[in-house]
Amino acid sequence: MSRAAGHQKFEGQGSRVLGGIVRRIRGVMSGAEPRASHVPEGQRLYAIGDIHGRDDLLAELLGRVEEDARRAGPAQNILIYLGDYIDRGLQSRQVLERIVAGPPDGFEAIHLKGNHEAAMLEFLRDPAFGRTWKYYGGLETLHSYGIRELTLSDNPEDFERARMHFEGALPEAHRRFLETLPLSVAFGDYFFVHAGVRPGVPLERQSEDDLLWIRDEFLESTSSFGKVVVHGHTPREDVVFRTNRIGVDTGAYVTGVLTCVVLEGASRRLLQTGAH
């Protein structure tokens, strides 16, 4: 390519970029809003935040979900659980029993993996990991299955003994459920995941570590992720609505508020425990 031709190509690219910037500025100044995010026609999505061993709240929220679906009318009703079913609260076993038993009549369910499920599986592989897990909620989970060895002990032999007893107490259906959890799912303009995504990385190329654990880089980003990311993992007093994400972890195990965001068409609404 000649120097003159290259210069013309660069000028052309520069003009297109400048034109795009000008159009965006005009859009902002005119008050134009970005296109609303949509769920595919005929579907109604119920995305539930971090439960953390609060089966009492889950039972209440599912009742609200069923009532909402009855009022809203016919649709393909899909429950999407965003992970962290266990730990912290005292009813982890009961939560898993309820979920494994299947969704309410008239609903489909998708259960995503959270970092606390990953931690539980790691303890089953490596009892030494219990030294970490027990201090961020694992002890409560073990207690819900009747495992008491680690209540007052950090002895390595007790970790191995607790793992062995836990493996025997954990129903096969619970273990199979935990070992087969997907990391994410997408519907329409929404992408559902436990923790979030790494900015600048295509959704289909995200790492498991980021999908389960990421915080600040994701939470502070104002970039588009390609879809609106619906996530839990980081508790906030109120549901967080941003142009690029919706955070629905309202710290249920402490606050008593378990949240579900309902997405239908271009609409969004909330269902929460304790709300009337």
Give DSSP secondary structure letters for 136-168.
Answer: GTHHHHHHHTT--TTSS---HHHHHHHHHHHHH
The domain defined by 43-114+181-272 folds into Purple Acid Phosphatase; chain A, domain 2 (3.60.21)
The residue ranges of every structural domain in the chain are 1-32, 43-114+181-272
pTM of the model: 0.87
DSSP three-state, residue 183: coil
Give the span between the Cα atoms of 7 and 237, in whole angstroms.
55
For 20-75, what is each residue's pLDDT tens digit?
333 333 333 333 345 689 999 999 999 999 999 999 999 999 999 999 999 999 99
For 211-259, what is each residue's pLDDT tens digit?
999 999 999 999 999 999 999 999 999 999 999 999 999 999 999 999 9
Answer whether 78's CB lies under 8 Å from 108's CB.
yes
Give the span between the Cα atoms of 225 and 139, in whole angstroms.
36
